[in-house]
Structure 1
């Protein structure tokens, strides 16, 4: 799993954005959901959303849409 961290200027009041890259997105999402269910998570006041996506080129994205 590769991790990419960047600052989120102008995106609400978040301090940074964390992006993960993996060959098995479903396993990673399962891991995140399991970690959200741990006892330590009880101390989290506000959880953040998780977005899952597939990285591909713009041309490949257009082709997948039939364009």
Structure 2
């Protein structure tokens, strides 16, 4: 079975823990109380999403190189 690798973004949640998004998979989102839990939840969510795509015969998205993630400041 091929291995797929995706950029995963971990953002601190207001209520604690982390919100996790996977931009290359339509913004797939999950969460976890710790980074370790959030990482495990991300792997589980990605696997479930890819399995659903494969089962329905849809193409599995491939990330073409690592994403560039930056912080941008604006003044209001």
TM-score, normalised relative to structure 2: 0.29
The structure showing larger relative contact order (alpha-carbon pairs under 8 Å, at least 6 residues apart) is 2
Specify the structure having the higher radius of gyration (Cα).
1
